[in-house]
Each structure stands twice: as structure tokens, then as C-alpha cells.
Amino acid sequence: MTPVELSRTVLRAVRRAVDEGELSVVVPERASVTVPGAGGCGDYATNIALQLARPAGETPRRVAELLLPHLAGAQGVSGVEITGPGFLNISLGSTASTSLVAEILRRGPRYGFVDGPAGGDDTPSAPTAHLVRLHAPHEPRALVVMDVVARLLRSQGADVRTSCEAGPPESVWATVLGVDAYCAPQELSPSDIEVRPVPVPTPDLAPLLTLGRDAARWALLHPAAHDRPRVTADHLVQREANPLFRVRYAYARTRAVSRNAADLGFTARPGDVRAEVTPLLADHPRVLSRAAAHRAPDLLARHLVAVADAALVLLPAVLPLGDEKPLAAHRARLALAEAAGAVLAGGLSLLGIDAPEHL
């Protein structure tokens, strides 16, 4: 069961509770399904009980208790527990990771986008596009952040227009950073959303450009908007202390194990694999949605670091050792590694950063 399918399962549980007169609420269009937070358990968690408590005139805990039997009896659900004020923590059967990996491999780097291929039962359909107008100062970091926010919003189905304050055509930094310094200069209007992160100090501009496009964009995007960007050569160092290196290295390693597996004569096949990276992959659509909604590319950048670190733990176990024959477990781990690679590639693309297959 994929996160999208589980969300629909949660809504069906709400609908049953309403139909049986246990709850008096309007069934929402969507149910949030995420990785369990601190104190949670199981494969996924939903806050639907907290969402419905006020309109139902009940406490979140009571709403959760009413929904629990309807969820626990759903196909593919092996267990449900209530934690905290009313979070429903859901455990799935052994096919949970199989379905997740199959979905990611099918969608590739566009996993987590709302405009998936038409006709898939487990693909969220694109909503009617709503117009979002972004406006930024004519300053390197602001334009890079606005560029990525626009990409994130478009990945979630929005129609985006960008503009910036008038300024000199600084073609050098615009070319290096891959942004449009001529982004329809105009004044901020009341309907515009202003993108104004802490700017790059003037003395740091020259050192920033020496980093090149990928490292420079990472230096501007990885910190939160209210933090001053750290413009140092550390972003170019190829070692574990450099988060950008770990993300790109993890992606390159996923491609390498696929090539090595092909040399050994076996390919990926999704299967049940319990690994640290699995819940992070499941959480990727939510991260994209939050990063877009909060106009915070740093949320995506930090998520990619977490995915990369977890993937690097998995990768040594993907290929058979010595004279060992490839087994179903190797094929399943290879599929999970390729799914992690797809998430890393898609995330880096949204940040405007290259994902090299050899590093």
C-alpha cells in the first residue's frame, strides 16, 4: 500500500464512521499520512482525528478511538495504535515497502509531484492550477531561492509567475548561478508573495561565484532563509563532512550498484525490505508539499541529506558477496537503492543542482 492509497483508506474509515452515525462531520477531501514522529510507531501516522475533532464536537482522542476499528479492519493494515493527543499510527502488511518502491520506480524523479501520469490508481491527480506570483529583490540569493520555490510550487500543481526589483544586469553571477537577472522587473504588488532571504554580503559575492553553479546554489539553499549563507570552499571538498558531497555521492553509488548488478546478470525487483531509508522515501511527497507551501527549499535540501545518509547504509548490502548467487533479497535491496537514487536525482533537479552518475 502506497501513502496515497493509505490516505484513501483513512478517508474511507472516516466515511464509514459518518455513515454509521458515529461521527457528524464533512468527510475531508484529503487525509495527511506521514512518517510517525517522536513517540510514534508503525509505518505511517495520520492526524485526521485532530483535524476532525472540533467540527465533530469531540476530543481528538475520542475521534481516534471511533476511527480505529474502521482502520484496523482495512485491507493491507496489520495494526493501528493511538499515540499522543490522538495520532493514529498505522502498521502495514509485508507488502508496504514493495508497493512504495514500485511506485517510486514507476514515477522516477517525478515521484512526489502531483501531476503524475494519468490513469494510475495510486497517483494523485493534478488539481486545478492556482496562480502564485513570487517577487524577489534583485540579489543573487533571493533570485536563486525564488527560482527553486517556483519549481517546488509547480511540482505541486501551481501556476507560477515571477518578478523582481529592477537592478543592473549582473550577467556574471546570473550566468554562474543559473538564474534570470531580467525576471520581468517590476514593483511588488499586493497579491505578490515576497521572497526575501538573508542576502549574500557583498564581500562574499566573489568567493560565492568561485564555487561554481552546483556548490554555490547549495550554499544559498541549504541554510534556512533567515540564516546567513556560509560561503566557503568547504562546499567543494569531496568528503563526508560536506553534505552536498554526500548527497551526490549517494546518488552516484546507486547508479554504480545498478551497473554492477547488470554485470552480474540480475536486475531490481521490489520486495519487502526493512531499511532506514524506506520511511524517508515514503515521506518525500510530504516534504515537497511542505517545502512548496512554506517557500523553504532548505527543507528539501536537509531531507536529501537524510535520504543520502540512509541510502549509504543500505548500499553495501545490495550486491552478492564472493561466490554468492543473487537472491530475491538482493533484487529487493537493489530496487530500494534505485528508488533512493530516483528521489535524490529528483530533489537535486528541483534545487537546480546536477546529479552526476560518476563521482
Cα distance between residue 227 and residue 223, in whole Å: 6
Can you give the pLDDT at residue 40? Answer: 74
Q: Which residues of 106-123 are buried (b: 16+ CB within 10 A; e: fewer)?
A: bbebbbbbbbbeeeeebb
Residue 276: per-residue pLDDT: 84
Pairing mode, if any, of strands 44-46 and 87-92? antiparallel
**277: nearest Cα among 79, 111, 97:** 97
Mean pLDDT in the chain?
A: 89
What pLDDT, in 10s, does the model give residues 238-270?
A: 999 999 999 999 999 999 999 999 999 999 999
Q: For residue 324, is it within any domain? A: no
Is residue 210's pLDDT more than 70?
yes
pLDDT at residue 91, as a whole number? 85
In a domain, 281, yes or no: no
Q: Which CA distances in Å does 41 have to 31, 204, 311?
A: 18, 45, 22
* Domain finish residue from 236, 269, 293: 236
- For the segment 76-122, what is each residue's pLDDT rounded down to a tens digit? 788 899 999 999 998 876 566 788 899 999 999 999 999 644 333 34
309 lies in a domain? no
CA distance 135 to 283: 29
Question: With 0-12 CB in 10 A as exposed, 13-18 as middle and 19+ as buried, what is 20?
Answer: exposed
Residue 126 has pLDDT above 50, yes or no: no
Contact by Cβ (8 Å): 136, 165: yes
Please indicate, yes or no, whether residues 55 and 138 belong to a single structural domain of this protein: no
Q: Can you tell me the distance from the alpha carbon of 338 to that of 254, in angstroms, rounded to the nearest whole number? A: 6
Nearest alpha-carbon partner for 71 in 52, 54, 46: 46
Whether 113 maps to a domain, the answer reads no
199 found inside a domain: yes
Identify residue 64 by its one-letter amino acid code. A
pLDDT, tens digit (0-9, with 9 covering 90-100), for 42-75: 778 999 999 999 999 999 999 999 999 999 878 7
> 88 with 173, same domain?
no
Q: Which domain holds residue 161?
A: 131-236
Q: Measuring CA to CA, how many Å separate 222 from each of 44, 167, 211, 304? A: 27, 26, 15, 10
How many whole angstroms separate alpha carbon 101 and alpha carbon 331?
12
Indicate whether 115 belongs to any domain: no
What's the mean pLDDT in 323-345? 94
Q: Is residue 257 part of a domain?
A: no
Q: Are residues 80 and 150 in the same domain?
A: no
CB 339 within 8 A of CB 101: yes
pTM assigned to the model: 0.77
Does residue 83 sit in the same domain as residue 167? Answer: no
Compute the average pLDDT of residues 171-176. 85
Q: Confidence class of residue 323 from pLDDT cuts 50, 70 and 90?
A: confident
- Domain end call among 215, 236, 257: 236
Domain of 88: which CATH number?
3.30.1360.70
Task: Tell me the pLDDT band of 4, cut-offs 50, 70 and 90.
Answer: confident
Would the pLDDT of 313 be above 90?
yes
pLDDT value of residue 119: 35
Tell me, yes or no, whether 87 lies in a domain: yes
Do 89 and 36 touch, CB atoms closer than 8 A?
A: yes
* pLDDT beyond 50 at 282: yes
Residues 145 and 201 grouped into a single domain: yes
Domain-terminating residue out of 34, 65, 92: 92
Total domains in the chain come to: 2
